[in-house]
């Protein structure tokens, strides 16, 4: 199983289990789910689909949105919840499936979330833990964390550390060339004139006297 995917579809019995990541943004779930549904359109369409969403508690609005995605993009006529009397508030997780998921994702709040690969324009990684990106963050991509953000690559997009107000959060990147850096409620933007001659040294951004400063790591 590809652990980096926030949405995994599995057939079991006559139905489908949809395993959802519990830690990422619901919008990301929607995007991935939509893609999965579109890719598997022929497989879905025309049937009454017995389905179970597991791994994440969904409120009625979220559940409705996922159902709408299946109807709109998958050509599904009807969705049934055979394992649970269509209660929108209480979704019983399937035992083995959810265990597997819990172990593999290990989303306890202390652990950093690691993302491997290039974050491209429009992609968002969001977590209430530290985030480590092993790869580049391109312009138009966003990394959002309650704590620190560490980019082992070039940061060219937007990084927002300490989103709930943690002013001691920092942003680190091997190559610091962001469109914007936000820490807590403070925003710093890139200068309008790009300095092409800039040395590529690892730099760190943090708050000092309520402004964001960026320094080479060696001077931190």
Spatial separation of the C-alpha atoms in residues 71 and 57, rounded to whole Å: 21
Count of residues interacting with another protein (CB under 8 A): 15
Closest by CA position to 53, among listed 7, 111, 103: 7
* Contact residue for another protein among 9, 114, 174, 190 (CB under 8 A): 190
Beta bridge partners of 144: 126, 160
Using the minimum distance from each CB to another protein, give the nearer residue, 107 or 180: 180
Spatial separation of the C-alpha atoms in residues 27 and 32, rounded to whole Å: 9
Using the minimum distance from each CB to another protein, give the nearer residue, 85 or 210: 210
Residue 192, interface with another protein (CB under 8 A)?
yes
Footprint of another protein on 97-156 (CB under 8 A)? 121-124, 139-140, 142
Footprint of another protein on 47-106 (CB under 8 A)? none
Using the minimum distance from each CB to another protein, give the nearer residue, 17 or 66: 66
Residue 211, interface with another protein (CB under 8 A)?
no
* Contact residue for another protein among 31, 62, 97, 128 (CB under 8 A): 31
Using the minimum distance from each CB to another protein, give the nearer residue, 92 or 187: 187
Least Å distance between CB 82 and another protein? 29
Residue 214, interface with another protein (CB under 8 A)?
no
The answer to whether 32 touches 128, Cβ cutoff 8 Å, is: no
For the four alpha carbons of 186, 191, 196 and 198, in that order, the dihedral sign comes to: negative
Using the minimum distance from each CB to another protein, give the nearer residue, 136 or 142: 142
Beta bridge partners of 18: 9, 53
Q: Please report the DSSP string for 149-195 in residue order.
A: EEEEEEE-SEEEESTTS-TT--EEEEEE--SEEEETTEEEE--SS--
**Longest Cα–Cα distance in the chain:** 64
Q: Which residues bind another protein (CB under 8 A)?
A: 27, 31, 121-124, 139-140, 142, 179-180, 187, 189-190, 192
């Amino acid at each position: 199983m590809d652990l980096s995917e926030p949405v995994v579809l599995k057939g079991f019995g006559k139905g489908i289990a949809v395993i959802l990541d519990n830690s990422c943004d619901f919008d990301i779930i929607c995007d991935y789910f939509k893609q999965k549904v579109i890719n598997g359109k022929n497989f879905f369409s025309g049937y009454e689909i017995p389905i179970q969403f597991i791994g994440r508690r969904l409120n009625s609005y979220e559940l409705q949105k996922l159902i709408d995605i299946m109807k709109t993009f998958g050509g599904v006529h009807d969705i049934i919840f055979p394992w649970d009397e269509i209660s929108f508030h209480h979704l019983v997780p399937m035992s083995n499936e959810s265990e597997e998921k819990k172990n593999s994702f290990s989303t306890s709040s202390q652990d950093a979330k690691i993302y491997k690969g290039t974050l491209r324009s429009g992609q968002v990684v969001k977590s209430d833990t530290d985030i480590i990106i092993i790869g580049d963050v391109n312009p138009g991509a966003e990394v959002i964390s309650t704590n620190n953000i560490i980019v082992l690559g070039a940061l060219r997009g937007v990084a927002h550390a300490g989103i709930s107000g943690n002013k001691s959060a920092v942003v680190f990147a091997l190559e610091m060339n962001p469109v914007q850096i936000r820490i807590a409620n403070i925003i710093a933007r890139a200068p309008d004139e790009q300095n092409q001659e800039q040395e590529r040294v690892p730099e760190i951004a943090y708050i000092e006297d309520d402004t964001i400063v960026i320094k080479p790591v060696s001077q931190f």
